[in-house]
Chain A
Amino acid sequence: DQQVKQNSPSLSVQEGRISILNCDYTNSMFDYFLWYKKYPAEGPTFLISISSIKDKNEDGRFTVFLNKSAKHLSLHIVPSQPGDSAVYFCAAAVNYGGATNKLIFGTGTLLAVQP
């Protein structure tokens, strides 16, 4: 039951260029989306999020785009830096107003930024 899919297991980009990581989802109930970054031997770290009422959210070098009709979101990193090399997880949740909210994760994309 892969409700959140990241079809690219890995991506390699040159330092200074744009990194684009993609994510697709199948559950139309999802209304909140997040990106987490994970370094080896560490837990996932929150990066950026977007509500389904928006189509873009920007935070410094990181921008998330949401296309609800296509059930697709992407993370853009500009410019990419070697320190961005990590596994990036897309996650989704249903904002049903409950106290706790489980996150549904994709399988991750390993980004390698070459100096």
Chain B
Amino acid sequence: EPEVTQTPSHQVTQMGQEVILRCVPISNHLYFYWYRQILGQKVEFLVSFYNNEISEKSEIFDDQFSVERPDGSNFTLKIRSTKLEDSAMYFCASNRLAGVTDTQYFGPGTRLTVL
């Protein structure tokens, strides 16, 4: 069964460094998302992406964050200058069809630790 994959599974970085989290969505999916979960808290929406542009972003998704689909398979989240509070589990998700009723499939997540 096709699945969303994410690399790396765990990323440790120093505060102020740039990180790029990578995702490979399911191959025929067109709609992409990043969510994050700070330890012990709820899963929070960061950004959605369709047709090579951001569809919607949350207040969390400030100028330090960017997303890109550099080729036909990868979907990346870049944090330009990491802060301690960026430490979280980051989940990529994708779905095939427009509309809320089409299931979003989540990857296993990347645990980001900012020291």
Q: How far is the CB of B97 from chain A (nearest CB, A)?
A: 9
Q: Is the CB of B100 within 8 A of A101?
A: yes
Cross-chain contact of A100 among B43, B55, B106 (Cβ < 8 A): B55
Also in contact, A44 and B101, with CB within 8 A (given A100-B50, A100-B56, A108-B42): no
Contact between chains at B43 and A42 (CB < 8 Å) = no
Residues of B with C-beta under 8 A to A36: 106
Interface residues of B in 82-115 (CB under 8 A from A): 91, 93, 98-101, 103-109
Q: A11 — which chain B residues lie within 8 A by C-beta? A: none
Residues of A within 8 A of B (CB): 4, 32, 36, 41-46, 49, 51, 89, 91, 93-95, 97-108
Q: A99-B50, A99-B51, A107-B42 are in contact. List 12 more A-B contacts (CB 8 A).
A: A36-B106, A46-B104, A94-B100, A97-B99, A100-B33, A100-B50, A101-B48, A102-B48, A104-B45, A105-B42, A105-B43, A107-B41
